[in-house]
């Protein structure tokens, strides 16, 4: 009986040796690859966290300078953030905040450069669209109306289309194109949720152009009633 068990064990050992001889190298390399990938994944996550912490610290510095209205410090902080962590959302948020302070402090060219970077490099399409909207406002102040309209043409997100139409109406108004401005404001009004308070401002702009939405709706309802009566 013992001999039989010994033979079975020896046979199993021989089979294992044969299997390992045939597939041992492959298994070893697969294990190395798996362990290496796991180590790389952990390393990448660690690096991402470190970058996030550092970017967050720089953004905090920028935010403090912005609260103090120190445009030069804001610009320096943003430049550091952009150069070291340009691919983070902190950099995108920093660009928008820096441009706001720069514009408020009369540094229009700096604001334009900051927003141009955000449009080209910021992480996330919503940030890029917001940058386009703000760039259009800066260009409007500089009376560069055609460039402002080009900036608005680049707005892609559906959630920003109504705001872009409203700003387009503002630009067209400044160009003396009342009819085109009215069409832009109507598109903005139609695209905004009635619960959004800003819609009331768009309504006021339309009313000033003699195209109050309430009057237009009443006229359309009257026309529909007349048509039904006929």
How does pLDDT run across 75-90, given as a tens digit for each residue?
999 999 999 988 888 8
Which region among 21-30, 96-105, 128-137, 144-153 has the lowest average model confidence (pLDDT)?
21-30
Structure confidence at residue 221 (pLDDT): 42
- Range with the lowest mean pLDDT among 10-24, 175-189, 203-217? 10-24
191 Cβ contact partners less than 8 Å away, ≥ 6 residues apart: 161, 162, 165
Mean of pLDDT values over 141-146:
95
In this model, does residue 183 exceed pLDDT 90?
yes
pLDDT of 227 over the 70 cut: no
Tell me the pLDDT band of 31, cut-offs 50, 70 and 90. low
What pLDDT was estimated at residue 136? 96
Which residues make Cβ contacts (< 8 Å) with residue 167, sequence separation at least 6? Answer: 133, 136, 137, 140, 148, 152
- Name which of 31-35, 61-65, 123-127, 165-169 the model is least confident about: 31-35
Angle at 129 between CA 107 and CA 136, to 5 degrees: 40
pLDDT attached to residue 225: 44
The total of other beta-carbon atoms located within 10 Å of residue 162's CB is 20
pLDDT at 53 over 60: yes
Whole-number average pLDDT of the chain = 82
Q: How far apart are CA 136 and CA 7, in angstroms?
A: 87
pLDDT value of residue 135: 96
Helix (H, G, I), strand (E, B) or coil at 147: helix
pLDDT at residue 220, as a whole number? 43
| Beta-carbon-side half-sphere exposure of residue 195 (alpha carbons within 13 Å) | 0
CATH 1.25.40 fits 55-127, yes or no: yes
**Is the confidence at residue 46, as pLDDT, over 50?**
no
- Return the pLDDT at 219: 45
Spatial separation of the C-alpha atoms in residues 118 and 140, rounded to whole Å: 18
Predicted local confidence at residue 147, as pLDDT: 96
What does the alpha-carbon distance between residue 79 and residue 60 come to, in Å, rounded to a whole number? Answer: 14
């Amino acid at each position: 009986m013992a001999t039989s068990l010994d033979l079975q064990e020896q046979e199993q050992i021989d089979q294992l040796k044969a299997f390992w001889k045939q597939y041992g190298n492959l298994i070893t390399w697969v294990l190395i690859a798996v362990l290496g990938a796991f180590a790389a994944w952990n390393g990448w996550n660690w690096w991402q966290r470190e970058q996030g912490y550092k970017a967050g610290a720089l953004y905090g510095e920028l935010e403090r300078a912005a609260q103090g209205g120190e445009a030069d410090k804001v610009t320096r902080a943003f430049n550091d953030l952009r150069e070291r962590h340009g691919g983070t959302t902190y950099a995108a948020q920093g660009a928008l905040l820096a441009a706001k302070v720069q514009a408020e402090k009369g540094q229009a060219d700096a604001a334009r450069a900051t927003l141009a970077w955000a449009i080209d490099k910021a992480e996330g399409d919503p940030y890029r669209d917001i940058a386009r909207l703000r760039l259009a406002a800066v260009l409007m102040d500089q009376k560069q109306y055609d460039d402002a309209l080009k900036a608005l043409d680049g707005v892609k997100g559906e959630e920003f289309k109504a705001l872009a139409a409203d700003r387009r109406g503002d630009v067209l108004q400044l160009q003396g194109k009342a009819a085109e401005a009215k069409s832009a404001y109507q598109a903005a009004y139609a695209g905004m949720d009635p619960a959004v308070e800003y819609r009331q401002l768009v309504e006021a702009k339309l009313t000033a152009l003699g195209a109050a939405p309430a009057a237009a709706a009443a006229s359309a309802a009257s026309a529909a009633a007349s048509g039904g009566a006929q």
